[in-house]
Amino acid sequence: MGLILKNLWCCLILLMLCQLSAQSGKMKVTSEGALVPQGQHQNVMAPENGLMMYDTLTSTFWYFGNSMWKEIGSDGDSSPTNELQSITASLTGDTMYLSNGGYLIVPGISAANHVLDADGNEYTTVKIGNQIWLKENLRTTKFNDGTPIPKVESNAEWHITNWEYNQLPPAFCWYNNDSVTYASVYGALYKKSVVDTSLNGGKNVCPLGFRVPRSADMMELVSFAGGEVAGKNLKSEGCSDNVLDIQLWSCSIHADPGTDIYGMTLKPAGSRTNQGVFFDPKQRLYLLTEPLDWHIGLSAGEYIHAGSFTDEFILDNYFTLIGYGMSIRCIKE
């Protein structure tokens, strides 16, 4: 009799485990979308990190990570410690975006399998040393949460009369206000406030999974790419004095034509001065960095620039160029 009860108890346990396994299995992708596992999250035995499921008891989504369950979104309970973040879906329904800038991908069909900015522009990547960079300058007109960045074309509106950095609203423009000619080659020119989270409301302008580089990231790139000749090694290959050939740097004042041996393909996008004047086409590239050191002394952060007259890629202080429009090249987080 004892043996029969023991076997019956084992069968019941096995049945419960089978039912639980059926409820908490892997995400199922169908032609109609993605079906998230359902059940009661507290009953899942030994959940794996990354498991997300719909709890039929609380009627909310739960996520398991770092050895604990967290509730996705607010369910109105009395405990704020278990709330993770809200979820919104992409317009095509193939990607679920999280409020902290992350996302959940529907395998195989999700737009998040590609590097897309908030406008839907697609980018390619290049691995240089231990870093992964976008191969193109950023050309989005929105932050990655969809918030528009004001486009400023007139010199009067672009011009700043007060050098106080904290009074500069985010803004962008196309070189010469000509998106047809320059957008796909040079990307956009952005004011420093676009990359300053203290001025842009904590937003990220880079595609999901990428961020604006810091000065340390730039210095790592320079070191790996040859130090004093990093500019030569990272610039687009060759040179040209044909003003219509905007892909290449000027030959007439070139220290040495670019070799682009790492595939970074830096192009001479120029800049826009604080007076609103477009400047240095085919001769310079200015890339913004995240201004982590703005409140230290007189520094307003840093930028890095390459020139047709030098083989270097030089990190410089931004204080004297506060109102300039510069390019952005994003790095993978």
Which residues fall within 8 angstroms of residue 213, CB to CB, at 6 or more apart?
221, 287, 289, 290, 329, 330, 331
Whether residue 178 sits in one domain with residue 237 = yes
**β-strands 278-279, 271-272: how paired?**
antiparallel
pLDDT of residue 295: 43
pLDDT of residue 65: 79
**Tokens 């369950």 sit on residue:** 69
Partners of residue 60 on adjacent β-strands: 55
Rounded-to-10 torsion of CA 151, 114, 201, 193: -50
pLDDT of residue 309: 85
pLDDT of residue 316: 80
Question: Per-residue confidence at 6, pLDDT binned at 50, 70, 90?
Answer: very low
More confident residue, 71 or 214: 214
State percent of the chain over pLDDT 70. Answer: 69
What is the Cα–Cα distance from 260 to 135, expressed in whole angstroms? 11
More confident residue, 33 or 7: 33
The segment with the largest mean pLDDT, out of 147-161, 177-191, 281-295, is 177-191
Report CA-CA distances (Å) from 258 to 49, 100, 224.
46, 39, 16
pLDDT of residue 81: 53
Residue at a domain's end among 114, 131, 164: 114
Question: Per-residue confidence at 18, pLDDT binned at 50, 70, 90?
Answer: very low
What is the Cα–Cα distance from 61 to 71, expressed in whole angstroms? 6
Whether residue 232 sits in one domain with residue 205 = yes
22 falls within a domain: no
Q: Containing H/E element for 135?
A: none
The tokens describing 19, both together, are 């039912």
17 falls within a domain: no
Partners of residue 306 on adjacent β-strands: 285, 313
Whether residue 288 sits in one domain with residue 148 = yes
Q: How far is CA 178 from the centre of its chain?
A: 25
Whether residue 130 sits in one domain with residue 257 = yes
Residue-wise pLDDT for 88-144, tens only, equals 555 555 566 665 555 665 555 555 567 888 888 989 999 999 999 999 999 999 998
Rounded to two decimals, the pTM is: 0.69
24 falls within a domain: no
Whether residue 91 sits in one domain with residue 142 = no
What is the Cα–Cα distance from 261 to 251, expressed in whole angstroms? 18
Does the pLDDT at position 76 exceed 60?
no
Number of structural domains in the chain: 2
What residue type is assigned to position 304 of the chain?
I
Does the pLDDT at position 191 exceed 60?
yes
Question: Per-residue confidence at 34, pLDDT binned at 50, 70, 90?
Answer: low
Does the pLDDT at position 198 exceed 50?
yes
More confident residue, 113 or 311: 311
What is the Cα–Cα distance from 22 to 192, expressed in whole angstroms? 52
Which residues fall within 8 angstroms of residue 94, CB to CB, at 6 or more apart?
106, 109, 110, 111, 112
Report CA-CA distances (Å) from 55 to 25, 36, 60, 183, 254.
13, 10, 6, 46, 64
pLDDT of residue 99: 58
At residue 289, the 3 state secondary structure works out as coil
What is the Cα–Cα distance from 52 to 104, expressed in whole angstroms? 10
Residue 164 φ then ψ, to 5°: -70, 115
Which segment of 70-74, 195-199, 263-267 scores lowest on mean pLDDT? 70-74
What SS3 string covers 50-81? CCEEEECCCCEEEEEECCEEEEECCCCCCCHH
142 falls within a domain: yes
**β-strands 278-279, 284-288: how paired?**
unpaired
83 falls within a domain: yes
312 falls within a domain: yes
Question: Per-residue confidence at 17, pLDDT binned at 50, 70, 90?
Answer: very low
- Containing structural domain, residue 191: 122-332
CA end-to-end span of the chain = 62
Residue at a domain's end among 73, 94, 114: 114
- Asked if 225 and 202 touch (Cβ cutoff 8 Å), the reply is no
Whether residue 105 sits in one domain with residue 149 = no
According to DSSP, residue 275 is labeled T
- Asked if 293 and 301 touch (Cβ cutoff 8 Å), the reply is yes
Mean pLDDT, the chain, rounded, equals 78
288 falls within a domain: yes
Residue 242 φ then ψ, to 5°: -75, 115
**Tokens 């004047």 sit on residue:** 277
pLDDT of residue 292: 59
Q: Containing H/E element for 95?
A: strand 95-98
Residue-wise pLDDT for 264-292, tens only, equals 999 999 999 988 999 888 889 999 998 75
Whether residue 40 sits in one domain with residue 147 = no
Whether residue 225 sits in one domain with residue 135 = yes
Whether residue 215 sits in one domain with residue 285 = yes
Residue at a domain's end among 92, 114, 136: 114
Whether residue 135 sits in one domain with residue 106 = no
pLDDT of residue 2: 44
6 falls within a domain: no
